[in-house]
Amino acid sequence: MQDDLILITGAGGFIGGAMVADLRRKGHGSIRAVDIKPFDEWYQIFPDVENLQLDLNLKESCDRAARGSSEVYNFAANMGGMGFIENNKALCMLSVLINTHMLEAAQKFGVRRYFYSSSACVYNADKQRDPANPGLKEEDAYPAMAEDGYGWEKLFSERMCRHFREDYGLYTRVARFHNVYGPHGTWDGGREKAPAALCRKVIAAMDSGKKDITIWGDGTATRSFMYIDDCVKGIDMIMHCDELIATPINLGSSELVSVNELLSKVEKIAGVKLKRHYDLTAPRGVAGRNSDNTFIQKVLKWEPNTPLDRGLAATYNWIHEQYHNRKKGKRVVE
């Protein structure tokens, strides 16, 4: 129903901006995009969309955003890479205000479907001590031992979505994202994640001529990384699957790589080999985290499948352009 109003919160961010772009491509003509950031700091902004700058920590802002909406995609949160979430635990926890007020507003104004963007940081830390992680199943979130701060807020908000479904009949959906990356995302400033950070560091090393790079940790930690196009496709499928009402599901690639392997892939794209230095005092996170996609394959007959090499190439090329545009004094969003 392309004329129904769709609300995207966190629309000035990476995933929210990609979601708005995808809805426009599909012909949706009534989109409300909301973010706390000034418009000139949004990664993607479109003149044919109702763009609002609102602080969704505030209940009245959530009411303003949700009024008249048919579907809500809630991506608004205080978050970033491991360095950010380890050093901003209280700020990450305060994001619970956003989801609480948005759920209340969605229930108040009769929203038909509500999507909540959760995270693999909800998973029990004891199940992530081995770099050769075979994959985290949805049930591995309990018994609860989530990432301190950010992960606990996500896990609590998942439960809120469940209980709003049980008590008020709100059709909620919950996806646990595993390390989303791609163009039009954060690549500098402290909130960027590993793929973007390594791309930027490689580009900077080549630009400076120093030909060395510093890696956080010892390079053996493993993760899977999901390309933004797969993320957006998965969100759409999850949102409109009635088998997934208030049921958390993994949304991530199962292609596991170490940080060292990830850097080697970026070096290959750039055509360079750098000397590696390891900062063992930097935030590292868990030893191994991967997505077990058994459930999403069963329910959706699909899983994120963009090869990391291909997604990294597109990401590297975009960051390369942004880096050199910034060097020339052109406006870029970092």
Label residue 189 exposed, middle or buried (CB < 10 Å: 0-12, 13-18, 19+): exposed
- The SS3 assignment for 135 reads coil
Q: What share of the chain is helix, strand, coil (3-state, %, to 5)?
A: 45, 15, 40
DSSP 3-state assignment of 52? Answer: strand
- Compute the distance between CA of residue 74 and CA of residue 71 in angstroms, rounded to an integer: 10
Q: How many Cα atoms occupy the beta-carbon half-sphere of 215 within 13 Å? A: 18
Residue 136 is given by DSSP the state B
How many Å apart are CA 35 and CA 40, to the nearest integer? Answer: 11
Contact 42, 75 (CB under 8 A): no
CA distance 55 to 34: 9
Q: Which two tokens stand for residue 319?
A: 């960051």
3-class SS at 155? helix
Give the E-state strand segments of 61-112 in sequence order. Answer: 71-74
- Of 162, 163, 141, 161, give the one whose Cα is nearest residue 152: 141
The answer to whether the bond into 143 is cis (omega within 30° of 0) is yes
276 residue type, one letter? R
Within a 10 A sphere around the Cβ of 137, how many other Cβ atoms?
15
How is residue 151 written in tokens?
A: 């992960």
Under 8 Å between Cβ of 83 and 125 = no
* Active-site residue flag, 227: no
Q: What is the DSSP string of 284-303?
A: ---SB--B--HHHHHHHS--
Catalytic residue among 43, 73, 150, 227: 150
Taking the C-alpha atoms of residue 316 and residue 202, their distance in angstroms, rounded to an integer, is 9
Positions annotated as catalytic residues are: 150
